[in-house]
Amino acid sequence: MRESTKQLGLRIPADQYNKLQDYAKSQNKSMTELIIRIFDDFLDASTPGLCQFCHTLNSLDASYCQKCGEPLTEEAKKESDRLKEYYNNEDVLIRIVEKMLEKKGFEIVKKE
């Protein structure tokens, strides 16, 4: 699992906040940890559009996360795995480059 950055913004009534803060203290956790835990429990793996990597909530019909590009649906995951297999295969990569070079507009440029 890749390292994820979680950013959450919440507006909580003061009395609720105090209650949460007391609870966080009793659990030896920071407020942020506690709120992320609550969000994680609330938005579980079955939540449509929720990215399991960066926790971005995407639109319900999204196949890929708009923030990190990870697949969101089973179908997208299969497709992504298939592509990764391709891209990790050196022969396939060389063939793709050869095909690109055959087409006009592509050339190998040495990076300075």
Least spacing, CB of residue 58 vs Zn ion, in Å: 8
HEC per residue, 68-84:
CCCECCHHHHHHHHHHH
- Closer to Zn ion by CB, 29 or 67: give it: 67
Determine contact, residues 108/101, Cβ cutoff 8 Å.
yes
**In this structure, what are the phi and psi dihedrals at residue 12, rounded to the nearest 5 degrees?**
-120, 135
Pairwise CA distance, residues 52 & 6, whole Å: 11
- Closer to Zn ion by CB, 35 or 49: give it: 49
* Residue ranges binding Zn ion (CB under 5 A): 51, 53-54, 56, 65, 67-68, 70
Least spacing, CB of residue 64 vs Zn ion, in Å: 8
Pairwise CA distance, residues 58 & 40, whole Å: 15
Least spacing, CB of residue 68 vs Zn ion, in Å: 3
- Closer to Zn ion by CB, 39 or 53: give it: 53
